[in-house]
Amino acid sequence: MIIDFHTHIFPPQLIAERQKYLADPCFRLLYSSPKARLAAADELISEMDAAGVDKAVIQNIGWTSHELCVRTNDYLLEAAARYPGRLIPFVAVQPLAGNQAINEIKRCAAAGARGIGELRPDVQGFDLGDDRVIKPFVGALVENSLVLLLHADEPVGHAYPGKGSLTPGVLYPFIAANPDLKLALAHWGGGLPFYALMPEVGAALKNTWFDSAATPYLYRPEVYERAADLVGETRILFGSDWPLLGQRRCLDELKTLNLSTQTLKAVLGGNAAALLGLAND
């Protein structure tokens, strides 16, 4: 089974009225260029069918507005209900909204959400070290058995649209302070796996997974092999970042590597199935 852990879809009305949403900092950061593609659920299903992808996690983005979180969450939940067994919703919240965010977490969990993401604290304006905001937020995630997916940024290397300040130095204290939270870090955690040889870091990452979204834009393909050596094959989640990148391109790159059948099966879907509590057919 192949599970793409990192895709993005948007409501058709939002796509049609794109310019209206550029006032939101996160949406503007990612989609101010007309070349940045937006897509809806039907297009994703067509892509999955063509690429041989069985299931996809549909991610929201880090909206600053609580109201926009709710509005777009409704679409992701509806899309997942329309394509049962194919689409797995990860919804968005604005933790600064306090009790409204907690209630939205509970509402979405009851409606079938499996996680929260892709959040961007640096863009949404909340501090991962602010206990007043983070403790109730993380508590609600743990209580509702939800995975948190955070965007992650490399502290070195080339600039690109969307690159921010959520680097390993910011992420690690949050991970260490919240050992019961199941956390997935996008884009290889900004390189955090390469610190796992430090004993204290490796120990803290026991509940942390790393997705491979946008790998062709960030790393050479052998990053899969090196990360498997450093954090273990069970901690890697295949992700394309569709529609930024085509699923087939990402799958073809992965399958050219010298990975064992066991590792390839784990990365392509087994690890995601275990993390999300899905049957791994």
Structure pTM? 0.96
With respect to residue 154, please indicate whether it lies within any of the assigned structural domains: yes
CATH of the domain at 24: 3.20.20.140
What is the structure's pLDDT at 255?
82
With respect to residue 25, please indicate whether it lies within any of the assigned structural domains: yes
What is the structure's pLDDT at 7?
98
d(Cα 18, Cα 237) in Å, to the nearest integer? 30
With respect to residue 158, please indicate whether it lies within any of the assigned structural domains: yes
With respect to residue 167, please indicate whether it lies within any of the assigned structural domains: yes
β-sheet bridge partners, residue 188: none
Per-residue pLDDT tens digits for 122-171: 999 999 999 999 999 999 999 999 999 999 999 998 888 788 899 999 99
Residue 156: alpha-carbon gap to chain centroid:
21
β-sheet bridge partners, residue 7: 58, 242
Q: Which domain holds residue 28?
A: 3-276
The radius of gyration of the chain's CA atoms, rounded to the nearest angstrom, is: 17
With respect to residue 257, please indicate whether it lies within any of the assigned structural domains: yes
Per-residue pLDDT tens digits for 178-196: 999 999 999 999 999 999 9
Per-residue pLDDT tens digits for 228-274: 999 999 999 999 999 999 999 999 998 889 899 999 999 999 999 99
The phi-psi region of residue 207 (left if phi > 0; otherwise alpha if psi is between -120 and 50; otherwise beta) is alpha
With respect to residue 170, please indicate whether it lies within any of the assigned structural domains: yes
Number of neighbours of residue 2 by Cβ within 10 angstroms: 18
- Helix 99-110 and helix 66-82: axis angle, to 10°? 0
What is the structure's pLDDT at 6?
98
* Closest C-alpha among 182, 208, 177 to residue 195: 208
With respect to residue 281, please indicate whether it lies within any of the assigned structural domains: no
d(Cα 227, Cα 214) in Å, to the nearest integer? 15
d(Cα 114, Cα 276) in Å, to the nearest integer? 7
With respect to residue 11, please indicate whether it lies within any of the assigned structural domains: yes
The mean pLDDT of the chain is 96
SS3 220: coil
Question: What does the block give as tokens for 270?
Answer: 């087994």
Name the domain count of the chain.
1
What is the structure's pLDDT at 163?
86
* Closest C-alpha among 181, 211, 225 to residue 7: 211
- Angle, vertex CA 44, rays to CA 41 and CA 46, nearest 5: 115
What is the structure's pLDDT at 280?
58
